[in-house]
Structure 1
Amino acid sequence: MIRTCLVALLSHWRRNPIQLFAYLAGLAIATGLWSGVQAINSEARASYDAAAATLGEGQYDQLVPRLGDSIPQETFISLRRAGWLVSPVLDVQLDGVRVVGIDPVTSPTGFGMLTAPEASAFAPGEDPRLFANSETARAISADATIIIDENVAPGIALGDVGAVQRLSGRDDLSRLVVLPEQPITQPDLSVIAPALRLQPSQQVADVAQLTDSFHLNLTAFGLLSFAVGLFIVHSTIGLAFEQRRGMIRTIRSLGVPLRTLVTLIVVEMLVLAAIGAVIGILLGYLMAALLLPDVAATLRGLYGAQVSGTLALRPEWWLSGFLLAMMGTAAALAGRIWQIAHMPLWQARAPAHG
């Protein structure tokens, strides 16, 4: 009997292929737009986290120039001799890539985030070596050995400060990172290095916070698009149930329990919803892959944020799209199921009012 019910229910879609297309297309569009937006946001946030882990920005106090963007190396030496525990950083642009030189011995982050075997045996006196992910490495044409390490944030190459100085032809520094543990007593900064000022970690620009409004707008757009697609699904479900009233009356007259009938209808609609959601996730992936380079360029131009130009299949965005599609379908289906469950059999042919 259950098989007969399923055949009767599915025959409705064979007789109304346009309704089936509208149902699947509405879900696919809704899920695709939402998933695509979330995929872009997820990739951007992953890039921000990778940059923070790579450079330690926003985690430590820094000494920066009061004027300009250069610190003489003699100033760094004077601070170290005076007892200030600081680590040098040189931040330059080479071939359009941000190249950051650090001292792996004194830096609070060091090369600990790298997984390349060469990082553990790194020797500052060797030929210049830079660590970068595969995407960034292709853009570097500097006379250096490029070691591929996917843990490095996109758009950034990392190397020993001395190597970066040789590559850039500079002998100065960009900033000094203040280590968390300092001597109890040390000379005042205004005496040792009056041209520098202390910048607390709270004042270091957090790219993730700067771009929050941008990603919030993208999320709002995705949610609005999902609501429009869900409206199509809601209308299609309503029309399908109105046309099925006679079929439901016949099935119930044959002795099929109401609970069994409702269960079959719910399973049928959710299976179709899962198919539409999967199609939507694939569409969202393609859309995000096409738009991500432009979004990355926009974020780089507006906020100076480096975002990977390649898209990873992260579970947080495709799973959220799938679950949202199923929940939206269930919400649209709940009202119609309630009507069937509370409608007397002899009123099954009567159209619903209100």
Structure 2
Amino acid sequence: MALLSPRSLLLRASLRYLWRHPWQLGLALLGVAVGVAVVVAVDLANQSASRAFTLSTEALTGEATHQVVAGPEGIPEDWYVALRRDHGLRPAAPVVEGFVRLPERDDRSLRVLGVDVFAEGGMRPAIGGITGRVPVGELLAYPDGAVMLASDLARLELEPGEPLTVRHRGRDHTLRILDGMTPQRELDATGLRDVVIMDIAAAQELLGREGRLDRVDFVLDERRLAVLSELLPDGARLVEADQRAASLAQMTDAFQLNLQAFSLLALVVGAFLIYNTMTFSVVQRRQLLGMLRATGTTRGEVFRVILLEAAIIGVVGTAAGLLLGLALATVLVDLVTRTIDDLYFALAIRELSVDPASLLRGALLGVGMTVVAALAPAREATAIPPRAALSRSFLEHRRRRWLPLLSTVGLVLGALGVVLLAATGEQLAPAFAGLFALIVGMALLVPPLLFLSVRLLAPVLGASAGYLGRMTARGVGASLSRTGVAAAALTVAVSAVIGVGVMVDSFRTTFADWLDATLHADVYVSVPGGGAMEPDQRERLEGVDGVDFVTRSRFVRVGAGDHDARLRVFDIPPPAEDGFRFRAGDPGRAWQAYRDDGAVFVTEPYAWHHGVAVGDTITLGTSRGERAFPVAAVLYDYGTSEGAVIMGRETYDGHWDDPAVDSLGVYASDGVSTEALRERLQGAAAEGEQLLQFQSNREIRALSLEIFDQTFTITQVLRMLAILVAVTGVLSALLALSLERAREYAVLRAVGVTPRELGGLVTAQNALVGVLSGLFAIPLGLGLAAALILVINQRSFGWSMDLAVDPWILLQALGLALVAALVAGLYPAWRMARTTPALAMKED
């Protein structure tokens, strides 16, 4: 028989089968499409965010090979002038940069890039080309002159020549937009989005950096690199241009890997759906396949046609999934970049960029998963002898013989998953492999557990609901080849809901407890958008009547060996010391070393990422060169997964020439309410010109939790999509089951069972599958939560969290499984109750 011939009986029967079962085919296609869409959407969102960061970095770095950077004081402008004049190290381009906000849209920030246009031609081509559109004299003549992309001006509804009001460090400044650029290179057009380009002197005045530079970019060969290394000013470092960008990009790697793992979970659930679909297609055609085998059709021909069906479903479903993934990615890219903004660094670009490689990976995963999931059903179709294929009982008996093997393999995979999670050190990829081994192992255990459960429940249901109760339990067990896989898919999806729900709830509880322990001041004063408070404003506020004492904070970045470190500087009176929670180190000794010996604290994420422990030292680049600081304690901290170094103000002042203060924590005197203190502080601040914001500890706590919830929005979206795939799978399974048992139900109708009783029987079987799936999902979900909290998140971000299990989450998951099964079974139950017995008992 020529399998690929149009006249091939087997191929024609296959295509006819797919055409005559549109619901089953449609649900299979939907399962593949949703699974592929989630994977593609997450991949595209991650790629878009990474590409946006890369293009922005390349556009702002240009042709530079190295950079001279410094700490909070910056680089003396005189050093750069002397370097060019006396040593001729060129090309060299000085840069001043910072962020400003739009007063009417405080959630949007613009990057200010101050450059020397005379030095830019060989460094950043797009910026060097400004002089070709804007006369240099005009750019230098206006201390408020600026240039932006024409596309940015259009978004801001501005025309060249119109003013743009921006806010920096609590003061509003009006810039004169001289022109709108339209770069020819995509790199520049994308990377310079939301960037305000100014003459360096104007930017220094705007950003309060007079006489200082943030960095100097160089194009160096080995000879000039050696010369420059000997000429660095105090507190400055010479780094490769891509080193800083690489360290920032590494921060998001773990976050993006977590998203990819969650997206693959949807694809795993989709694999169960494909397995379901192909198994049912084999089961429903067992008589036809048996007759074809008896008349000479070979095993290989049957095997190939089943895989061909799977390939057709995979190709069509994957194509739909790619289109759906593009639409979903436009939503996810905003969620991904918003999370990166909240946790890591500003990322202004939020457009979707379509990477063909992402689409190709999604296509290969979709088609490959479909074919792999169909291998077992295809083998099943060829392994059954022709005569036995005509008997459905033979198939069910054969499936039950596999239960001991499924149990053994499931237990082995589960144990392997636990070992991988517990014994892979700091590696993240083996931990995810262990997590998936645990999931697959539990999925294999579901059919044996389902069979055992209905055997035990049959007498109980019979005693409580009579013969219909016994039929409910026995019907589920008798159709294990169909119900088992459906229950496995639903169990995996619901366990993901439990695991992620418990993880997020535990994290939120831990985060809220940390906020309660940390936010002790009555009123917190800071500059909107960040930045230093003006000294006269700070002194005025500290002298307000009703202020008991204040804490002062400064937040900067400094060099720490091969990376930049967040440095938090605190001036903390002893009464405020209980706002810090110690993970390692004796609090009494640690505070003494912090105050008297210049020791520092590190946060838990910093200690994890950089292998730092109590008793070690950290080398930081100060204004007087590199200095080593002993580590006195490791603190719990959930403000950033990057981690931070915490230093006393007196120690900081001894090593850096930076008297600035970013924020105050104000404690009220006895008898002074928080509202009264806030009003007095606001009144005092009104005497100055700098705009400040005043927040109570309750307001900061509420805002922090709101940002937390926004950060985990994408996680909630992904787990709901996994549930959608699972519900689709259950609907497919129950519909196929109803079709398979149509004659059996018809016999029941013929012997007196009413349509209402039959509908109740089918619904009860669906409900039993849903409840048992929900119960099976609870231990797996709790295991996933423990793995996510104690292993995955710890290795990804360095945070340790307490495992907090809210019984309400478990009840919700159980209800979700029940509702999913009931909703999926509504149409099959309705169909069976309305089908006439004579029609259902007809042979095909």
Give TM class, smaller chain: 0.7 to 0.9
Q: CA deviation at 1:279?
A: 1.7
Task: Report the more deviating stretch, 314-323 or 48-57.
Answer: 48-57
Question: Residues 281-324 of structure 1: CA distance to partner in whole angstroms, max 9, x if unpaired?
Answer: 22222221112223212212221142521112221212111110
Question: Match of 1:8, SS?
Answer: helix
Aligned to 1:295: 336
Aligned to 2:95: 89
Instruction: State the distance in 2 between where 1:210 and 1:84 align.
Output: 37
Q: 1:197 aligned to 2:231?
A: no
Question: Residues 182-240 of structure 1: CA distance to partner in whole angstroms, max 9, x if unpaired?
Answer: 286579546xx44x412423862532211111111111111112111211221222122
Where do residues 1-354 of structure 1 align in structure 2 (5 Å cutoff)? 2=7, 4-56=9-61, 60-68=65-73, 70-83=74-87, 85=89, 86-94=92-100, 95=102, 96-103=109-116, 106=119, 110-112=123-125, 114=126, 121=132, 124-127=136-139, 130=147, 132=149, 134=151, 138-139=155-156, 141=164, 142-144=175-177, 145-149=179-183, 150-152=186-188, 153=191, 155-157=193-195, 159=197, 161-162=199-200, 165=203, 168=206, 172=211, 173-181=213-221, 182=224, 188-189=230-231, 193-194=233-234, 196-201=235-240, 204=244, 206=246, 207-306=248-347, 308-349=349-390, 350-351=394-395, 352-353=398-399, 354=402
Task: Report the more deviating stretch, 118-127 or 271-280.
Answer: 118-127
TM-score, length-scaled by structure 2: 0.37
Instruction: State the distance in 2 between where 1:135 and 1:238 align.
Output: 55
TM-aligned CA distance change 1:65 to 1:336, over 3 Å:
closer
TM-aligned CA distance change 1:14 to 1:54, over 3 Å:
same
Question: Residues 68-100 of structure 1: CA distance to partner in whole angstroms, max 9, x if unpaired?
Answer: 3x4453332123223262420121334421132
For structure 2, the 5+ residue unaligned runs are: 1-5, 103-108, 140-144, 159-163, 165-174, 403-844
Q: CA deviation at 1:131?
A: 5.4
TM-aligned CA distance change 1:71 to 1:187, over 3 Å:
closer
Question: Match of 1:110, SS?
Answer: coil
Instruction: State the distance in 2 between where 1:320 and 1:34 align.
Output: 9
Question: Residues 1-47 of structure 1: CA distance to partner in whole angstroms, max 9, x if unpaired?
Answer: 73543442233344443322331122112111111110111111211
Larger radius of gyration: 2
TM-aligned CA distance change 1:136 to 1:213, over 3 Å:
farther
Contact 2:149 2:182 in 1 (8 A): yes
Instruction: State the distance in 1 between where 2:66 and 2:229 align.
Output: 17
The AA in structure 2 aligned to 1:100 is L
Contact 1:27 1:229 in 2 (8 A): yes
Question: Match of 2:339, SS?
Answer: helix
Task: Report the more deviating stretch, 155-164 or 143-152.
Answer: 155-164
TM-aligned CA distance change 1:185 to 1:217, over 3 Å:
closer
For structure 1, the 5+ residue unaligned runs are: none
Contact 1:248 1:348 in 2 (8 A): yes
Contact 1:103 1:161 in 2 (8 A): yes
Q: CA deviation at 1:248?
A: 1.4
Instruction: State the distance in 2 between where 1:213 and 1:109 align.
Output: 36
Instruction: State the distance in 1 between where 2:308 and 2:290 align.
Output: 19
Instruction: State the distance in 2 between where 1:108 and 1:226 align.
Output: 49
TM-aligned CA distance change 1:155 to 1:345, over 3 Å:
same
Task: Report the more deviating stretch, 299-308 or 329-338.
Answer: 299-308
TM-aligned CA distance change 1:220 to 1:137, over 3 Å:
farther
TM-aligned CA distance change 1:88 to 1:186, over 3 Å:
closer
Question: Match of 2:195, SS?
Answer: strand
Contact 1:91 1:100 in 2 (8 A): yes
TM-aligned CA distance change 1:284 to 1:227, over 3 Å:
same
TM-aligned CA distance change 1:91 to 1:23, over 3 Å:
same
Question: Match of 1:26, SS?
Answer: helix
Contact 2:33 2:319 in 1 (8 A): yes
Question: Match of 2:176, SS?
Answer: coil
The AA in structure 1 aligned to 2:357 is E
Contact 1:47 1:154 in 2 (8 A): no
Higher relative CO (Cα under 8 Å, sequence separation at least 6) belongs to 1
Instruction: State the distance in 2 between where 1:27 and 1:233 align.
Output: 8
Task: Report the more deviating stretch, 123-132 or 236-245.
Answer: 123-132
Contact 2:44 2:329 in 1 (8 A): yes
Task: Report the more deviating stretch, 80-89 or 224-233.
Answer: 80-89
The AA in structure 1 aligned to 2:217 is V
Counting matched residue pairs gives 348
TM-aligned CA distance change 1:187 to 1:232, over 3 Å:
closer
TM-aligned CA distance change 1:167 to 1:229, over 3 Å:
farther
Q: CA deviation at 1:118?
A: 5.3
Question: Match of 1:320, SS?
Answer: helix
Instruction: State the distance in 2 between where 1:27 and 1:212 align.
Output: 27
TM-score, length-scaled by structure 1: 0.82
Question: Match of 2:283, SS?
Answer: helix
Instruction: State the distance in 1 between where 2:294 and 2:215 align.
Output: 82
Question: Residues 87-134 of structure 1: CA distance to partner in whole angstroms, max 9, x if unpaired?
Answer: 20121334421132344664596234x4x9956946644545635483
Task: Report the more deviating stretch, 326-335 or 297-306.
Answer: 297-306
Instruction: State the distance in 2 between where 1:4 and 1:133 align.
Output: 64
Question: Match of 1:97, SS?
Answer: strand
